[in-house]
Amino acid sequence: MPAYICVTCGVQFAPTSEPPARCPICEDERQYVHPDGQQWTTLDALRASHKNVVKKEEENLYSINTEPKFGIGQRAFLIRTGAGNVLWDCVGLIDDPTIAKIKELGGIDEIAISHPHYYTAMVEWSRAFGGAPIHLHDAERPWVMRPDPCIHFWSGEERALRGGLKLVRTGGHFEGYQILHWPAGAGGKGALMAGDQPQICMDPKQVSFMYSYPNYIPLNATQIRRVVERLDPLPFDRIYGAFFVRGKGIVPTQGKEVVLRSADRYLRAIRG
């Protein structure tokens, strides 16, 4: 039985003989159903029409991007540490050339994904790399469309991964939203692997925070303050976002100042 993939958000469902009736992730107010109605594809079809591009971003960091754009259009990252490799976020396509390229870079030992919009084909990625554990926050359990023993739910506010990497739950965009802190990133100054939140703006000196990006639903002041409180203690200079905004999708330096300044501006804007 095929494991159908939602064309709009890229999430893969548990195998079924017929396509699922609906995609709860797209029907949620943070996303949207395909303008022509709910549509499905399969990994085999995707392999015939798309490819992944693996690109070095800095020492020990590689982005993985599907071309042409598929689903939401986010990228994933492979982070190499002295203690093994971590895949941060995920994409819907995994194929033999991608697996070969990543094996050359040392493979994948652990997987962590910021939030359900990027769960995509995470179980396929885990299986391709020996059942690498996938770390998700427990609050997002209802959004897992393909349950699997490789998925490990954690609860609380922080979860250490290998090589000094750390997941921090910030809430906001999703209740169990998690960022990945990479202390060795940005040449040792630290990098924030942010996914969707904070979202890097067209002006890379600004970031933003939304409940829904496609539907422009803001977060409230309490949620914004909580995100900032969780990020502020982390040492980081650079921010890597989920998209190639203006071809890059990074805040190259002074990321902490950018987050604090942007949050302050946001709070002033919604105070009324």
Least Cβ distance, residue 143 to Zn ion (angstroms): 10
Query: 110-146 as b/e, with b when 16 or more CB fall inside 10 Å?
Result: bbbbbbbbbbbbbbbbbebbeebebbbbebbeebbbb
Least Cβ distance, residue 134 to Zn ion (angstroms): 17
Binding site for Zn ion (CB under 5 A): 6, 8-9, 23, 25-26, 117, 196
Return the number of the residue (26 or 91) whose C-beta is nearest Zn ion: 26
Question: What are residue 41's DSSP bridge partners?
Answer: 5
Return the number of the residue (212 or 253) whose C-beta is nearest Zn ion: 212
Return the number of the residue (26 or 128) whose C-beta is nearest Zn ion: 26
Least Cβ distance, residue 58 to Zn ion (angstroms): 24
Locus of tokens 């330096």: 253
Return the number of the residue (102 or 123) whose C-beta is nearest Zn ion: 123
Least Cβ distance, residue 27 to Zn ion (angstroms): 8
Say if residues 256 and 207 touch (Cβ distance below 8 Å): no
Question: What are residue 179's DSSP bridge partners?
Answer: 168
Return the number of the residue (2 or 107) whose C-beta is nearest Zn ion: 2
Say if residues 189 and 204 touch (Cβ distance below 8 Å): no
Plot region of 108 (φ>0 → left; ψ -120 to 50 → alpha; else → beta): beta
Q: Work out the burial of residue 23: count CB atoms within 10 Å of its CB; fewer than 13 is exposed, 13-18 middle, 19 or more buried.
A: buried
H helices, E strands: number in the chain: 6, 19
Say if residues 89 and 182 touch (Cβ distance below 8 Å): no
Give the residue from 88, 67, 72 showing the smallest Cα distance to 195: 88
Amino acid at 137: H
Least Cβ distance, residue 165 to Zn ion (angstroms): 21
Return the number of the residue (105 or 139) whose C-beta is nearest Zn ion: 139
Least Cβ distance, residue 222 to Zn ion (angstroms): 20
Least Cβ distance, residue 175 to Zn ion (angstroms): 13
Return the number of the residue (23 or 263) whose C-beta is nearest Zn ion: 23
Q: What are phi and psi of 206, to 5 degrees?
A: -135, 145
Question: What are residue 251's DSSP bridge partners?
Answer: 239
Rg (CA), the chain: 18
